[in-house]
Amino acid sequence: MDTLHIDPAIIEKAKRWTTEVFDPETRSAVQAMLNNPGEELVDAFYQDLEFGTGGMRGIMGPGTNRMNRYTIGMSTQGLANYLKMNFPGKSLKVAIAYDCRNNSPEFARICANVLTGNGMEVLLFESLRPTPELSFAIMHYGCTSGIMITASHNPKEYNGFKVYWNDGAQLVPPHDVKVVEHARSIRSVEEVIWEGDAARVRILGHETDKAYIDMVCSLGLVSRAMMEQYGDMPVVYSPLHGTGTRIAPEALRAFGFKNIYTVASQSVPDGNFPTVVSPNPEEGEALTLAIALAEEKGADLVLATDPDSDRVGIAIRDNSGKFRLMNGNQTAVIILYYLLEQWKSNGKLNGKQYLVKTIVTTYLIDKIAEYYGVECFNVLTGFKYIAEVIRDLEGVKQYIAGGEESYGLMIGDQVRDKDAISACCIIAEAAIWARSRSMTLYQMLQSVHAKFGLFQEHLISITKKGKSGADEIKAMMERFRNQPPDKLAGAAVAEVRDFRTGIITSIATGASRPTGLASSNVLQLQLSDGSLITMRPSGTEPKIKFYFSVNGTWNQQTESYEDAVARLKDYIKQIIKDLNI
């Protein structure tokens, strides 16, 4: 690729980054790209970073499509302008936290400088802290907004900027769009107030940790006697070099667990994540060292959290004693079933309680909720939409918990984002509850499948990097949207759910009805047997994701659990083959 093939607007945008308003290192790096124009230049400048389901997230480096001090500063200035417009004449207070990633402390300080330079009070955590603790702090201290510097489970070259509203939840429409509009209205970095006011910064430390852990402990449902009897159950935990390194073990011990073993080599915060290929607990490789430690210690439960401690991956022993990784759907099923069973046995269900899950998360949860007389809401991907339901129903119905297939759980409403710290504690509590009934967590999952139906889910993520990749993803979505298949694995496509248009269409009759949700670039195909295929470009990564959910009955007298699961997995394989992806 040469200059002749690059959009002149990209060249002009890059040239502005070689002027004196940028630091020498940035100017030099951009000039090097201009001297040898190619994909690197295009990817760095062809667009501005946008807010997706998890905020603004991107590769670190110079450019408008990169995470750097300038894109962070302009976004923060945009937020400041929007806050001042929304709360005229009011004292504004913003909490800021950051994770272990490279440049995270610097980015957090830039945010603090810009906000205090705009006359706001900043509550800045003294060192790295989990995303859920930031969400908690926003409500605990009555903040107007919050910022979390993190790229969650993305690879090491990424960082991100999550913005929260005064209810501790990430931005939803119209606030997300408006903040972006205000940031984009800033045409020059010279419009950013870079000089901060240290007198307006309050440092948060141990006292906030204690308040947060106390809240987590309040979520416990087993009796003190049961915890005393089974609390010595060994638990292995890994923070994967992230923010959970101190606070997760502290929370587990405060909860009543006595034997917590942490993976020492992964307990050192490090943005390069040296012991894993990816700091993502969805990836089995990330739990390798933790499982090895569990074998050494004789533990039956392994927990691992991602860098900002909002997602949790678990491994449990199967009936043969071998460790099995649970996917996000299985973990959500185990925990939400456990919570409902406990709420029922404790006499806390009165018909006003509810769960919330995303449309790509297993519909086995809907069946379980129906059995317990608990309403289950389905929302678009992102915990900000779960938090939106809580906000809408505050004082009307009682929220129990919510979850999504991508390893996220939000238990109770005192944190308004997914919370792997509280999830670790409740998962461990569910394990001792199962022990008290002579079951393992794996056997609990089997009992749920026997009672409510066998569900099997699978996820495929296809990465397409850069501008050309974004174009490929767009074309792929349009192909399935305009020409959906007639059949998949022998089952007819019965219904097409287009969440971009907000219309659900019956293939047999042509009848349509609204989705009832906000517009989102998501497409679902429901088969005649109830199987569901969902297609969704990621809002935070250069990926398109395909979610598969199939279900059937399991007769314990005629078929083993493993054979029944294998049967459904084979069905998913045939669907994937027929989709030709």
**Which residues are marked as active site?**
152
DSSP annotation string for 191-207: GS-----GGGEEEE-HH
> What's the CA gap between 240 and 243, in Å, rounded?
9
Structure tokens at 388: 């939106």
Strand, helix or coil at 353?
Answer: strand
What is the rounded end-to-end Cα distance, in angstroms, of the chain?
Answer: 28
Q: Is the peptide bond before 249 cis (omega within 30 degrees of 0)?
A: no
Contact 121, 24 (CB under 8 A): no
Phi, then psi, of 197 in degrees rounded to 5: -130, 100
Contact 498, 512 (CB under 8 A): no
- Residue 557 exposed, middle or buried by CB count within 10 Å (0-12, 13-18, 19+): exposed
> What's the CA gap between 39 and 5, in Å, rounded?
11
Contact 504, 495 (CB under 8 A): yes
Residue ranges in 361-416 assigned as alpha helix (H): 364-371, 383-393
- Beta bridge partner(s), residue 377: 356
Give the residue from 141, 140, 142, 146 showing the smallest Cα distance to 170.
Answer: 146
Give the residue from 151, 100, 419 showing the smallest Cα distance to 266.
Answer: 100
Beta-strand (E) ranges in 395-531? 398-404, 408-411, 454-463, 487-488, 491-498, 503-506, 512-514, 523-527
- The Cα-based distances of 528 to 361, 471, 479 in angstroms read 19, 32, 21
Buried residues in 360-398 as b, exposed as e (16+ CB within 10 A): bbbbbbbbbbeebebebbbbbbbbbbbbbbbeebeeebb
Give the residue from 564, 348, 346, 561 showing the smallest Cα distance to 440.
Answer: 561
Contact 53, 139 (CB under 8 A): no
Residue ranges in 87-242 assigned as alpha helix (H): 104-117, 131-140, 175-184, 206-217, 224-230
Give the residue from 447, 446, 452, 332 showing the smallest Cα distance to 400.
Answer: 332
> What's the CA gap between 298 and 276, in Å, rounded?
23
Q: Is the peptide bond before 62 cis (omega within 30 degrees of 0)?
A: no
CA atoms in the 13 A half-sphere facing the CB of 507 = 17
